Amino acid sequence: MKKPEISGNTIRVPSDQAFLPNVDDFLETALREYGADESVIADIAISVSELVNNAMMHGNKASPDKMVSVTVSLARKTATVTVDDEGYGFTPDTIQDPLADENLLKEVGRGIFIVRSLMDKVDINATDKGTSVSITKAI
């Protein structure tokens, strides 16, 4: 199996949830060094964990040969994090409303909703070569 790779402000991990803590450590260390407060760090960390979970499980279908890349950019008191997978595209419009009464007790289906709630901006770009999601948050 491939291993996590760090290059500059990017970490690449195989599509295995066991590597989620590697991504979180990388992200939180960068945010803390930049001086972000703990509440904002948690919001961004929660959001990135959602996106990496989606990239691993839905985008890359948990294939250990496919990697997920997370790039952290910190400038002008703003964090931008981009999560890229090597899957076959992702259609956010097909996600059910997690607040609907009939969905409230469903165990899954809240990830993107939570990301949109916590972040200032979310951009999703899905192609047949993979999905790239960028989130932005003032820090």
Partner 1 sequence: MKLTDQERDGIVILEPRGKIMGGPDASLLHDKLYECIESDKKRIVIDLARVDWMNSTGLGILISSFTTLRNNEGVLKLANVTDKIHSLLTITKLVTVFEAFDSVDEAIGSFK
Q: Which residues sit at the interface with partner 1, rule CB under 8 A? A: 16-18, 20-21, 24, 39, 42, 45-46, 49-50, 53, 98-99, 104-111, 113-114, 117
Minimum distance from residue 25 beta carbon to partner 1 (Å): 10
99, 70 Cβ separation under 8 angstroms: no
Tokens of residue 54, six digits: 């989606």
Which lies closer to partner 1 via its Cβ, residue 106 or residue 129?
Answer: 106
Minimum distance from residue 90 beta carbon to partner 1 (Å): 16
Write down the residue that tokens 């409303």 correspond to: 97
| Residue 27 CA: distances (Å) to CA of 12, 45, 61 | 12, 7, 23
Q: Pick left, alpha or beta for residue 28 (phi over 0 → left; psi -120 to 50 → alpha; otherwise beta).
A: alpha
Quote the strand ranges of 29-66, DSSP E.
none
Which lies closer to partner 1 via its Cβ, residue 34 or residue 98?
Answer: 98
Minimum distance from residue 56 beta carbon to partner 1 (Å): 9
DSSP H stretches of helix in 76-133: 111-118
Which lies closer to partner 1 via its Cβ, residue 109 or residue 127?
Answer: 109
Minimum distance from residue 75 beta carbon to partner 1 (Å): 25
Which lies closer to partner 1 via its Cβ, residue 7 or residue 137?
Answer: 137
